[in-house]
Amino acid sequence: MPSVQIRSSPSHSSQPAPMTVTDLKQRVIACLNRLSDRDTLSLAAAELDSIALNLSPENFSLFINCLQSTDSSAKSPVRKHCVSLVSVLSRSHGDSLAPHLSKMVSTVIRRLRDPDSSVRAACAAASVDMTTNITGQPFSILLGPMIEALIHDCDPNAQIGAAMCLAAAVDAADELDVEQLQKALPKIGKLLKSDGFKAKAELLGAIGSVIGTVGGRNSEKAVLDWLLPNVSEFLSSDDWRARKAAAEAMARVALAEEELAPLYKKTCVAILESRKFDKVKIVRETMTRTLSLWKQLEGDSTEVSESSSSSKTASSGFSATSGKRSNTLRGKDRNLNAPLSSKSNDVEPLDRGDTPKDVEQEAVVSKEKRKTLEVKRALFPAKTYKVKENASNKSQVVQSSDEESPKTESGSSSSQAKNNAEELSLIRNQITQIEKQQSSLLDLFQKFMESSQNGMQSLERRVRGLETSFSVISTDLLVSRSITQNGNPKRNACRQN
């Protein structure tokens, strides 16, 4: 560090005159080299930020070239701060950097393969800053390379970084090239089926951002016909991040596609209903919010039969729904049954024009619905029922359950229903205990990771201390050796004689 100050001081200490191109380049490279040392990291970063803030337009190209000169062999702080300097430039100089936007985008794209997640996060932040501050160039200059990297790069880190940057840039942009995004959406969506594309969670986030932006602007039904089934498949993925991202993407569709989304309401509600009890809390909350958005849509029926149908059958409903859509929207204005979340057991009458076969089918559906409601009441009883413990209160509970279900009027059926409720209550308690154990395991894992990181940092500090001690000891040994060999010339002369 002192040698660098001596080297750079003659040209700046005496006069505040502007630096030459050679001086600026040497100063920037020296600061980048100092980023590799933890002792000089903060000072070098502050100096580079100051240079970027006060940079003149004629030196933009030189500064960006210096940032591009760093490669993957540089340490992580160097790679990360080079990308962060792109953000500093964008926020400080704005549209003055418009002629250099493609070079800045190239600097960010080169860092998408970085194995350090903090560097990729800096790339996403730089994409946002370039999008919001440099508006003198078309958005396609930024969007095009990111889409190309997302589609064609086979490196998993590059796939993650490109998807993050694309989603961040699209969400931050005020004016987008909607036509370019609409053309790119099918290409991006095909990656969901590609085995070579590993960053499915980040890809779903990017798809959700694109849908939220271009939705409702001359959208094509054919795009949603293949997109929604592919996205909904990830609601049952083993990766909880993919399940959460898929639910968020479906929420974007419900919000953005006001005209087309109701056509898929029944099927999407069915799938979300079957997946709303996810074992991860944040995914459950996302599923619930998405389900609420789809239920609020006007148009198609929201009634779902919660029987033994599998998720595969539910997902296949997209094709069946699209085939029956024309018959549903013709002229029959039916007053459909209320959703299962309703507490009422009443079934509204059918139209007079219905055939006896339709009436029989509706009767079967209403019967299954009553059974489903009974199971749901047994699984999720009111809190007031749990508090009552004495004999009189127990009889009150039986009376209230008898009013809701006429089939439990006899004593034997009542006791059987009571036993079933107790068994279901035990099952529910066991499920609650399992969820608590899972959350405690996650907390223990996080604490273990934190302690491991602290241990690694402590080990690194000890290793550096040992290296310093070793260098001091070796220096002392060299000095003592030279003293013993050359310290007493008379004694050596006597030995020779």
CA distance linking residue 415 with residue 422, whole number of Å? 10
DSSP designation for 97: G
CA distance linking residue 494 with residue 362, whole number of Å? 121
- Residues 224-242 have pLDDT tens digits of 888 888 899 999 999 999 9
Q: What is the pLDDT of residue 158?
A: 92
> In sequence order, what DSSP letters do the residues of 227-292 get, joined into one string?
HHHHHHHGGG-SSHHHHHHHHHHHHHHHHH-TTTGGGGHHHHHHHHHHHSS-SSHHHHHHHHHHHH
Q: Burial letters for 26-57: b for 16+ Cβ neighbours within 10 Å, e otherwise?
A: bbbebbbebbeeeebbeebbebbbebbeebee
Residues 6+ apart with CB under 8 A from 375: none
- Residues 40-76 have pLDDT tens digits of 899 999 999 999 999 998 999 999 999 988 888 888 8
Q: Burial letters for 238-264: b for 16+ Cβ neighbours within 10 Å, e otherwise?
A: eeebbbbbbbbbbbbbbbbbeebbebb
Q: What is the pLDDT of residue 177?
A: 79
Domains 20-175 and 178-299 share a fold: yes
Name which CATH class applies to 20-175: mainly alpha
Domain ranges, ordered by start, for the chain? 20-175, 178-299, 428-457
The H-or-E segment that residue 491 falls in is helix 489-496
**What CA dihedral angle connects 185, 191, 197 and 200, to 10 degrees?**
70
Which pTM was predicted? 0.57
pLDDT exceeds 90 at position 135: no
Asked if 143 and 177 touch (Cβ cutoff 8 Å), the reply is: yes
- Residues 318-332 have pLDDT tens digits of 544 444 433 443 333
Q: What is the pLDDT of residue 480?
A: 80
Q: What is the pLDDT of residue 469?
A: 86
- Residues 397-451 have pLDDT tens digits of 334 434 444 343 445 566 777 778 888 888 888 898 898 888 888 888 888 888 8
> In sequence order, what DSSP letters do the residues of 337-395 get, joined into one string?
PPPTT------PPPPTT--HHHHHHHHHHHHHHHHHHHHHHHHS--HHHHH--SHHHHH
Domain 178-299 has CATH 1.25.10.10: yes
Confidence of residue 2 (pLDDT cuts 50, 70, 90): very low
| 306 burial level (CB within 10 Å; 0-12, 13-18, 19+) | middle
Q: How far is CA 475 from CA 126, 467, 480, 481, in A?
A: 46, 12, 9, 10
- Residues 148-174 have pLDDT tens digits of 999 998 899 999 999 999 999 998 888
Task: Copy the structure tokens of residue 301.
Answer: 């029926």
Closest CA to 359 of 323, 334, 333, 330: 334
Write down the mean pLDDT value for the chain. 75
DSSP reduced 3-state for 12: coil
Asked if 245 and 201 touch (Cβ cutoff 8 Å), the reply is: yes
pLDDT exceeds 90 at position 392: no
pLDDT exceeds 70 at position 339: no
Provide mean pLDDT across the span 330-356.
38
For the chain, give the percent of residues with pLDDT over 70.
Answer: 69
pLDDT exceeds 70 at position 252: yes
Closest CA to 137 of 190, 177, 167: 177
